């Protein structure tokens, strides 16, 4: 029976460690600050944003939410980002996605100063991360998965890691991190057009699934002893839940747990690690800001 990789518990330990770092920075006169920009009133986005700023405040960081109307213009949104870019008390800026369709999300993300881009979505940070530059802000979900593997003593060197999905937010940066010197994994990236997906997933020593389809990975698609990291977050109706729904991943957890050696649950696996790495990136931004502007940025 696979052991469960408990992202909530790893996050608790990491956040306690970071609270000490925050206290040390505060003693030196710096309170790390994250500003989250929320456009519109999507309830799921509101909940994500609230949990991010709450997590900041719990650590002694400054967490601020700026809520803009659904019909805000690109120019008005850029003006808000300009103000945050120039504010020395703001170390990290995050624009919550998805944005309304009239806003060009790539241009919006590129408007955030790379030194404050704690989501790591600016092309400058994507490039720095790709070349292994320690100044890069690595996107929070892949960074959280790497931290979870490290803290759970799951070796990656020489292992075959199969990633299902090729998104810029999760899978591509994760592939780059895993294949780098140090982690030293052999990585296969698969996607919608990969024929016979199971022939790849069955080869995985570590299987990472980031698609957004319930039960995409079934028990016949994995080999015994595999480590399974389920990134997927899918809402399914559940009349017994007070909210009327519950969250499940992309993996058939109940059928695969008896076969695997380790597996992340949904919820309570990758999700908490993502927010924890946002806090870590904000801390990194505050530290880097103290060291002065970076030559490249």
Q: Is 149 exposed, middle or buried (0-12, 13-18, 19+ CB in 10 A)?
A: buried
Q: Which residue in 21, 96, 117, 252 is the catalytic one? A: 96
Residues 116-135 interacting with ligand NAP (rule: CB under 6 A): none
Residues 230-289 interacting with ligand NAP (rule: CB under 6 A): 231-234, 270-271, 274
- HEC assignment per residue over 116-149: HECCCCCHHHHHHHHCCCCCCCCCHHHHHHHHHH
Cα–Cα distances (Å) from 102 to 30, 75, 107, 230, in that order, read 37, 12, 12, 32
Does position 211 bind ligand NAP by CB under 6 A?
Answer: yes
Nearest to ligand NAP of 274, 288 (CB atom): 274
Q: How far is the CB of 52 from ligand NAP (least distance, A)?
A: 11
Query: Does 52 participate in catalysis according to the annotation?
Result: yes
Instruction: Figure out which of the listed residues 40, 60, 155, 212 binds ligand NAP, where binding follows CB under 6 A.
Output: 212
* DSSP letters spanning 148-164: HHHHTT---TT-EEEEE
Nearest to ligand NAP of 155, 212 (CB atom): 212
Nearest to ligand NAP of 192, 243 (CB atom): 192
Does position 197 bind ligand NAP by CB under 6 A?
Answer: yes
Query: Does 172 participate in catalysis according to the annotation?
Result: no
CB 177 within 8 A of CB 142: yes
Q: How far is the CB of 157 from ligand NAP (least distance, A)?
A: 25
Cα–Cα distances (Å) from 128 to 93, 136, 182, 286, in that order, read 18, 5, 17, 18
Nearest to ligand NAP of 90, 216 (CB atom): 216
Does position 94 bind ligand NAP by CB under 6 A?
Answer: no
Taking the CB of residue 18, how many other CB atoms lie within 10 A of it? 19
> Which residues of this chain interact with ligand NAP, rule CB under 6 A?
141, 164-167, 169-171, 190-194, 197, 210-213, 216, 231-234, 270-271, 274
């Amino acid at each position: 029976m696979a052991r469960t990789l408990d992202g909530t518990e790893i996050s608790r330990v990491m956040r306690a460690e970071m609270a000490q770092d925050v206290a040390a920075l505060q003693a030196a006169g710096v309170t790390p600050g994250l500003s989250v920009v929320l456009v519109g009133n999507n309830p799921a986005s509101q909940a994500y944003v609230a949990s991010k700023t709450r997590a900041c405040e719990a650590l002694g960081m400054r967490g601020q939410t700026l809520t803009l109307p659904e019909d805000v213009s690109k120019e008005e949104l850029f003006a808000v980002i300009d103000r945050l870019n120039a504010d020395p008390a703001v170390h990290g800026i995050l624009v919550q996605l998805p944005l309304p369709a009239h806003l060009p999300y790539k241009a919006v993300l590129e408007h955030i100063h790379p030194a404050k881009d704690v989501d790591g979505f600016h092309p400058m940070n994507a490039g720095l991360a790709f070349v292994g530059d320690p100044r890069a802000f690595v996107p929070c979900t892949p960074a959280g998965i790497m931290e979870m593997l490290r803290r759970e003593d799951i070796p990656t060197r020489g292992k075959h890691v199969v990633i299902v999905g090729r998104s810029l937010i999760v899978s591509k940066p994760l592939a780059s991190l895993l294949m780098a010197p140090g982690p030293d994994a052999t990585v296969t990236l698969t996607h919608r057009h990969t024929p016979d997906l199971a022939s790849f997933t069955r080869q995985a020593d570590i299987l990472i699934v980031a698609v957004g389809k319930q039960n995409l990975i079934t028990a016949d698609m994995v080999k015994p002893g595999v480590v399974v990291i389920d990134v997927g977050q899918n809402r399914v109706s559940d009349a017994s839940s007070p909210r009327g729904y519950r969250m499940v991943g992309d993996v058939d957890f109940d059928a695969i747990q008896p076969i695997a050696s380790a597996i992340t649950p949904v919820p309570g696996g990758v999700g908490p690690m993502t927010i924890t790495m946002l806090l870590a990136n904000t801390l990194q931004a505050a530290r880097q800001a103290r060291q002065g502007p970076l030559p490249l940025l």
